Chain A
Amino acid sequence: MATTIAADPATRPPFVKKLARRLEVRMILLAIAIAACLSVLSPYFLTHSNIFNMLDQSVVIGIIAVGMTFVILTGGIDLSVGSVAGLTGIILGLAVQHMPVAPAIAVAVAAGAFIGLLSGLLINVFGLAAFVVTLGVMAIARSLAYIFSGQTAISNIPESMQDIVYTSVLGIPSNVLFLLVLYALAWAYLTYTKGGRTIYAVGSNKEAARAAGLNTLFYSVVPYVLASALSAVAVTFSIAQLLSADPLMGNALELDAIAAVVIGGASLYGGRGSMIGTLIGVFIMVMIRNGLNLMGVSPFWQGTAIGTIIIVALLAERLVSSRVNR
């Protein structure tokens, strides 16, 4: 470790290159490129109603991806969010039979938070692997969803729940507005608060964070609580739209959420990622799926298409980033 080549002030990168170094900027460019391709392939793609349709489709996966970003930032993973959405949906469906809508939602969210707390403690206090714990919780939650629901959908949901989705503020549907506000809050939390910075530090180097006096245990558990609670919030929007709670709800949602977070530039090793990136990742996922539907691609082929696009996009990103960061 002898001499260091000093960073020469004369060779500071030009503005464009500096911008290109920001992952979010590159992801926005990728999103625009995909949108451009799809609008050429399908003239309907860029219409007003399709755009609102896509925003609407972004809500559920978008909310879940917020919690997933927190978990992945700490270097963990949560495979249970889809099943927890299914279970808390059933809990909500059962609860509204006995109480008004607002407390019923509170019960479902609290149930979600409790499940997340259990996973978080098992992972961080007992040192079990996050992958295995959440895999187990995933199986348990789905099975309980079937048992509590009696294997059928609960369809007698009060129609007043639709107000959650079908009111609009300043022309923006309330669920989309909720999504955007949630992202803004999550971004501000991660950027400006002690807790947010601790979450990054935990994912980047837990031991160093602990040695600096940060409460690594608390902030390793919080993301799991948040992820499961937000699963309940997400499924609330689904139920409000469909007026039905199905035990199968949220099936495979965790994979979409993980894909969105990773497309958004987060590292599965933790410490790297951002809310803006995740939001773009969500939009890219929804756009691709929507575009494939518009072009009439068979649902059986869609999985292949989406998988290929994700892998190619990440590969391209890796190549580009190694070039601009040199």
Chain B
Amino acid sequence: MSLAALDRSPETVVAPLLVMRGITKTFDRTRALQGADFELREGEIHGLLGANGAGKSTLSKVISGHHAFDEGEMVYRGREIRLRGTRDALNIGIAIVMQETSLVPDLTVLENIFLPELGRPGRLNYGALRQRGEEILESLGQQDSLPFDWEVRRLSSAQKQLVEIAKALGVRAKLVIFDEPTASLSPGEVERLFDVMARLRDSGHGLVFVSHRLEEVFAITDRVTVLREGRTVMNARPTADLSQAELIRAMVGSELGAIYARNEETPEIGGAIALEVRHISALPVVRDVSFSVRKGEILGLGGLVGAGRSETAEAIFGLRPRTGGEVLLGGKPLKGNSPKTAIRAGLGFVAEDRRTQNIVPDLSVKENLLIAHLGAHRGFFCGYGARTKRVDELLAKLGLPGDRLLDASMLNFSGGMQQKIIIARWLLLEPSVLILDEPTKGVDIGTRASIYAMLRDIAAEGVAVVVISSDFEELLGLSDRVVVVSDGRSIADLPSAMLDEEKLTLLAAPRTSMARNTALLNDLTREHGGAGFWALIENDSLICLNAVVNDPALDPGFRAGEARRLSETRLPTALARREGTFVAEASGGRTTLVVPMTSPRGHDLGWVGITLREGGTLPAPEAIKTRIDTMAATL
């Protein structure tokens, strides 16, 4: 404490809160960290970047005491320490806010915030706890935003995150790690989180922000450290001195661009429809999802974590009971609700979690490769013999371990190799449709590129491929077309070429934020008649996020989730000019106001438009602009 007090004097350089040097960590045979360095000061937000599998999560979990490091040095507030567990870390003021929250769903918000206190002997004073909880929320500028008496299971993911943050402050944490905190948040919720983080920084906390979304890193961090293949390749550089290109180069190394490289000639996707999904639901998560994929096409299913993409795939495949809708494979309806019927009809599914959903650890690599065959096989014996030749062919083609390693355990291989074996499991059956859920999760960057190439080859051979990914860059780089899922509904179906990560983020926003926008459009159109919309506009094309039509005669010519060239809409003039005043169309009869929508932090959120009958009294554009800005602030 006295040390920290000394460091506060203005002349001294800010002493680092935490220094990690030469950290190594090996899991089984995988070297997750091989000499990582990291330094964090008080009162800063430090971005920890790296591609999937670079070791950033492992490093955060070493700092938070989840993993013990093998070699290296960890100095916290000037003293060398070695944590034996998360409790040690919490005791000295290190806390982590994780993707999968560590909350107890059946306890109340208040009990969760003060969970560490529940382990102490003696009686609990709920009144005092409640008061402290209120103080904590106030210090975050979030007073009254958490119902203390609710069970945590009823909260939204953003609220759960706030509980986690409050919990960290409840034990007076000085260092808080945010591990991919924005993965399941809407743009508005992200802004609120950044406000909270900024307040924590200003009150002298040291924050680690783990992410792979570059625009967020630039928005919030003071300094950046980049990891690649378990090593620090960029150490604590001020964010202001960096360019996006520099960061990307540091993250992926020299092979940038090659990863998503397509074959030069764009493949002709005119094949027959292989899989058609019509309004399927699997309540409560999947409500209404429709899409179709052609032979040889790669379709991306995008959306936030928790939007229901994995559940949709499970419902199609029969792992989750469907409560409605239809699945057609090659035009024929898929009857029955079990993976076995789906597999026999030509469907393959690589589930998200390799360890719990795909790998059978006690069976050899060979049997893991053949297990989908076993599921599809009819007969008393295994029928492995008939597949021997095909197995050899596949092994050779995919660069998988040869005969000698077939008897080994799956767990001896790296994540990328395991994933290839699991994909090969399905290729063996020559499926007509292959669905992959987060195919590169936990796969190192080198192997990722080869998995992408593998998926392209699979598609080129006429298989319809459906890829689910939370990594929007990967989704856009890989797929020909993207279907966006939000709150269990498919809300857009657009070619990848029209999209970028930012547009996808806005499209994927949960319906709660869309509801406020819809309410505003409803109010405006009810007051003035006509139609309203919210759209992203770039060059000469538009992607509609939301549309409300009160007066059918004024239909703008596009609906939510649709993309149009501006000239193809019924409002070409107004959309092209976007002048902040009502602009009448040449075709007559209607006049349209199009105004930009920006978040309080200056983030571009697209354009809101309102179309009214020409000749009526027009409302003042400024008044409408103000209402839109107010709405944007709460989005």
Q: Which residues of A are at the interface with B, using a C-beta cutoff of 8 A?
A: 1-5, 7, 9, 192-195, 197-198, 200-201, 203-205, 207-215, 271-272
Q: Which of B358, B382, B413 contacts A4 (CB 8 A)?
A: B413
Binary CB contact string for chain B from 395 to 414 against chain A (1 if under 8 A, 0 otherwise):
00000000011001000111
**Complex contact A213–B444 (CB within 8 A):** no
Instruction: Assess A205 versus B356: contact at CB under 8 Å? Given A4-B29, A197-B382.
Output: yes
Chain A: minimal CB distance from B255 (Å): 15
Chain A: minimal CB distance from B479 (Å): 23
Q: Which of B339, B404, B415 contacts A1 (CB 8 A)?
A: B415
9 closest Cβ pairs, A-B complex = A213-B375, A271-B362, A4-B414, A204-B362, A213-B343, A213-B340, A2-B229, A2-B230, A212-B371
Bound-complex Cα distance A208 to B369 (A) = 12
**Complex contact A205–B359 (CB within 8 A):** yes
A/B interface sample: 15 pairs, CB < 8 A: A1-B27, A1-B32, A2-B55, A3-B229, A7-B412, A9-B404, A197-B367, A200-B362, A210-B319, A210-B339, A211-B319, A211-B358, A212-B372, A212-B375, A214-B371
Bound-complex Cα distance A2 to B24 (A) = 12
Closest to A207 in B: B357
Bound-complex Cα distance A84 to B149 (A) = 50
**Complex contact B360–A7 (CB within 8 A):** no
Q: Which of A1, A9, A212 contacts B30 (CB 8 A)?
A: A1
Chain A: minimal CB distance from B204 (Å): 34
Is B34 interfacial (CB-CB < 8 Å)?
yes
Bound-complex Cα distance A5 to B34 (A) = 12
Is B236 interfacial (CB-CB < 8 Å)?
no
List of A residues within 8 angstroms of B363 by Cβ: 197, 200-201, 204
**Complex contact A213–B356 (CB within 8 A):** no
Identify which of B343, B374, B405, B443 gathers the most chain A CB atoms within 10 Å of its CB. B374
Q: Which of B344, B372, B375, B381 contacts A193 (CB 8 A)?
A: B381
Closest to A267 in B: B362
Is B423 interfacial (CB-CB < 8 Å)?
no
**Complex contact B339–A192 (CB within 8 A):** no
Instruction: State which size class the interface on B falls in.
Output: 35 or more
List of B residues within 8 angstroms of A5 by Cβ: 29, 31
**Complex contact A2–B54 (CB within 8 A):** yes
Instruction: Assess A194 versus B379: contact at CB under 8 Å? Given A4-B30, A213-B372.
Output: yes
Q: Which of B31, B358, B383 contacts A208 (CB 8 A)?
A: B358
**Complex contact B442–A1 (CB within 8 A):** yes
**Complex contact A215–B444 (CB within 8 A):** no
**Complex contact B371–A209 (CB within 8 A):** yes
**Complex contact A1–B351 (CB within 8 A):** no
Is B53 interfacial (CB-CB < 8 Å)?
yes
List of A residues within 8 angstroms of B415 by Cβ: 1
Instruction: Assess A1 versus B372: contact at CB under 8 Å? Given A193-B381, A194-B380, A208-B358.
Output: no
Is B376 interfacial (CB-CB < 8 Å)?
yes
List of A residues within 8 angstroms of B367 by Cβ: 197, 201
Chain A: minimal CB distance from B310 (Å): 12
Bound-complex Cα distance A209 to B382 (A) = 15
Is B349 interfacial (CB-CB < 8 Å)?
yes
Is B417 interfacial (CB-CB < 8 Å)?
yes
Q: Is the interface of B mostly helix, strand, loop or mixed?
A: mixed
List of A residues within 8 angstroms of B229 by Cβ: 2-3
List of B residues within 8 angstroms of A7 by Cβ: 405, 408, 412
Instruction: Assess A207 versus B444: contact at CB under 8 Å? Given A201-B363, A213-B339, A271-B362.
Output: no
Chain B: minimal CB distance from A213 (Å): 2
Closest to A270 in B: B362
Starting from the known contacts A200-B360, A208-B351, 6 additional A-B residue pairs (CB-CB under 8 Å) come to A2-B30, A203-B362, A205-B360, A208-B359, A211-B317, A271-B362
Closest to B444 in A: A2
List of A residues within 8 angstroms of B414 by Cβ: 1, 3-4
List of B residues within 8 angstroms of A201 by Cβ: 360, 363, 367, 371, 374
**Complex contact A208–B360 (CB within 8 A):** yes
Is B425 interfacial (CB-CB < 8 Å)?
yes
Instruction: Assess A194 versus B444: contact at CB under 8 Å? Given A2-B55, A211-B319, A211-B358.
Output: no
**Complex contact B356–A207 (CB within 8 A):** yes
**Complex contact A3–B339 (CB within 8 A):** no
**Complex contact A194–B382 (CB within 8 A):** yes
Chain B: minimal CB distance from A56 (Å): 34
Is B377 interfacial (CB-CB < 8 Å)?
yes
Closest to B414 in A: A4
Closest to A73 in B: B362
Closest to B412 in A: A7
Q: Which of A2, A194, A204 contacts B360 (CB 8 A)?
A: A204
List of A residues within 8 angstroms of B29 by Cβ: 4-5
Bound-complex Cα distance A210 to B319 (A) = 8
Chain B: minimal CB distance from A283 (Å): 24
Instruction: Assess A2 versus B362: contact at CB under 8 Å? Given A194-B374, A207-B356.
Output: no
Bound-complex Cα distance A211 to B339 (A) = 6
List of B residues within 8 angstroms of A4 by Cβ: 29-31, 413-414, 417
Closest to B441 in A: A1
Bound-complex Cα distance A230 to B283 (A) = 43
Bound-complex Cα distance A213 to B358 (A) = 12
Chain A: minimal CB distance from B31 (Å): 5
Instruction: Assess A204 versus B361: contact at CB under 8 Å? Given A2-B54, A4-B417.
Output: yes
Closest to A4 in B: B414
Closest to B342 in A: A213
List of A residues within 8 angstroms of B443 by Cβ: 1
**Complex contact A198–B374 (CB within 8 A):** yes
List of A residues within 8 angstroms of B230 by Cβ: 2-3
Bound-complex Cα distance A197 to B317 (A) = 22
Closest to B230 in A: A2
**Complex contact A211–B351 (CB within 8 A):** yes
Q: Which of B31, B376, B408, B442 contacts A213 (CB 8 A)?
A: B376
Chain B: minimal CB distance from A3 (Å): 5
Identify which of A7, A204, A207, A213 gathers the most chain B CB atoms within 10 Å of its CB. A213
List of A residues within 8 angstroms of B342 by Cβ: 213
List of A residues within 8 angstroms of B357 by Cβ: 207-208, 211
Identify which of B27, B31, B363 gathers the most chain A CB atoms within 10 Å of its CB. B363
Bound-complex Cα distance A164 to B566 (A) = 90
**Complex contact B372–A2 (CB within 8 A):** no
Closest to A195 in B: B380
**Complex contact A3–B381 (CB within 8 A):** no
Bound-complex Cα distance A205 to B368 (A) = 11
**Complex contact A272–B360 (CB within 8 A):** no
Binary CB contact string for chain B from 268 to 312 against chain A (1 if under 8 A, 0 otherwise):
000000000000000000000000000000000000000000000
Q: Which of A1, A192, A213 contacts B382 (CB 8 A)?
A: A192
Instruction: Assess A205 versus B339: contact at CB under 8 Å? Given A1-B415, A3-B30, A197-B374.
Output: no
List of B residues within 8 angstroms of A203 by Cβ: 362
Chain A: minimal CB distance from B432 (Å): 15
**Complex contact B417–A212 (CB within 8 A):** no
**Complex contact A192–B358 (CB within 8 A):** no
**Complex contact A2–B31 (CB within 8 A):** yes
Bound-complex Cα distance A9 to B443 (A) = 24
**Complex contact A194–B319 (CB within 8 A):** no
Chain A: minimal CB distance from B27 (Å): 8
Chain B: minimal CB distance from A10 (Å): 12
Bound-complex Cα distance A213 to B342 (A) = 8
Chain B: minimal CB distance from A69 (Å): 14
Bound-complex Cα distance A207 to B444 (A) = 25
Instruction: Assess A2 versus B319: contact at CB under 8 Å? Given A200-B363, A272-B362.
Output: no
Q: Which of B28-51 contact A (CB under 8 A)?
A: 29-34
Q: Which of A210, A212, A271 contacts B374 (CB 8 A)?
A: A212
**Complex contact A2–B32 (CB within 8 A):** yes
Bound-complex Cα distance A3 to B414 (A) = 8
Closest to A6 in B: B29
Q: Which of A195, A205, A213, A214 contacts B361 (CB 8 A)?
A: A205
Closest to A210 in B: B339
List of A residues within 8 angstroms of B358 by Cβ: 208, 211
Identify which of A3, A9, A208 gathers the most chain B CB atoms within 10 Å of its CB. A208
List of B residues within 8 angstroms of A211 by Cβ: 317, 319, 339, 349, 351, 357-358
